[in-house]
Amino acid sequence: MIHKQADPKPLVIFIMTSPYCLNAFLLGHLRRLSREFRVIVCVNQDASEYLIQPSADFEIRNVAIRREIAPWHDLLALFKLVGTLRSQPAAAVISFTPKGGLLGMAAARAANIPVRVHYFTGQVWATARGGKRLLLKSLDKVLAFCATALLADSPSQKDFLVAQKIAAVGKLHVLGSGSVCGVDLKKFAFDADARREIRSALGVPGDAKCLLYIGRMNRDKGVEDLLRAFHLLRERHPSAHLLLVGPDEGQLLKDVTEANVHAVGYTSAVEKYMSASDILCLPSYREGFGNVLIEAAAVGLASVASRIYGITDAVVEGETGLLHEPGDVEGIKGCLSDLLSNPQKCQELGRNGRDRVRERFSAEKIETLFFEFLKDSVA
């Protein structure tokens, strides 16, 4: 008897600009998908400090997609992507990041890939003005036109995209309550040893209240507002400390001389700094969701964050954290002072946040939803 060879796994190709996105959000998804799909990731490895560790779960293809607008290089990257996609019998292409999405969806449409999905995680043009806003918004409309389906990482971001006429409501989807990857509940759990270790290394007393910012340092993240608010806050709470964890992309910290401010830089062990802290701060001007908020909540931290789309899905105001208007330095100071002056309230918000994450945002739950979405899409 001649046995017919089983069909190979269907191919799924991910396209993004930076390994940062892969490392921060997608490793769990790729591991889950690799059980039933062959996975290739097209990403720019050349111009990034974020290394990708070799994995048996997926294959890496280096494509020089730049984050900034670079017409000639973008055209070359587009041609390379079209060639790659035409040479591969892909069942689906999934793109992340603005430039990765634009080039990835355009290339996938040109190569006649049947399933083309872009994942929106925030809009660069949301805080832009004038011609720049019009150009970037128009490019997102082109991206959406080329896709067969779109994902948004929060319900309020979906509403924003529909209101801005980027895509029709029927083309946009949110998995569960939001978030690209959810939270690894084993990794993001309070660790008393890490609290002592980090505080000892930074010279933070064990009984001091510690505020925490995690993410890229640039103006859209509101880091300068947080520093101003912290300066004012120390008039009433002089023993408070502020940890700034992440790459200083905007060179915002080079002239900072404020006492009790600790600039840590990039780390892959952000959960340790969460255990060392008491309040997570995210004074951002734009976010798709703000996954760091639910990661910190899983550790038991209350949050103080901007009242903007995306964040309002990650933080329940008055229940898991406090919200302020973006750019409102006095508002940031007031929220932080409220929690520092009321430790029981701060702890209650942290407990509520931890319970909410366990119920809605576990990595296992989000990975299952994404897997089922993709499996249904290529069926």
pLDDT, residue 24, reads: 83
pLDDT, residue 1, reads: 42
Q: What is the full DSSP assignment across 320-370?
A: TEEEE-TT-HHHHHHHHHHHHH-HHHHHHHHHHHHHHHHHH-BHHHHHHHH
Using one digit for the tens of pLDDT, what is the confidence trace for 90-143?
Answer: 999 999 999 999 999 999 999 999 999 999 999 989 988 999 999 999 999 999
Least confident range from 35-39, 54-58, 104-108, 246-250: namely 54-58
| pLDDT greater than 60 at residue 354 | yes
User: Domains in the chain, please, with CATH?
Assistant: 11-182+363-378 (3.40.50.2000), 192-360 (3.40.50.2000)
The confidence band for 48, taking pLDDT boundaries of 50, 70 and 90, is: low
The confidence band for 289, taking pLDDT boundaries of 50, 70 and 90, is: very high
Cα(211)–Cα(200) distance, integer angstroms: 16
| pLDDT greater than 60 at residue 42 | yes
Nearest CA among 351, 267, 276 for reference residue 50: 267
Using one digit for the tens of pLDDT, what is the confidence trace for 223-237?
Answer: 999 999 999 999 999
The confidence band for 45, taking pLDDT boundaries of 50, 70 and 90, is: confident
pLDDT, residue 114, reads: 97
pLDDT, residue 343, reads: 96
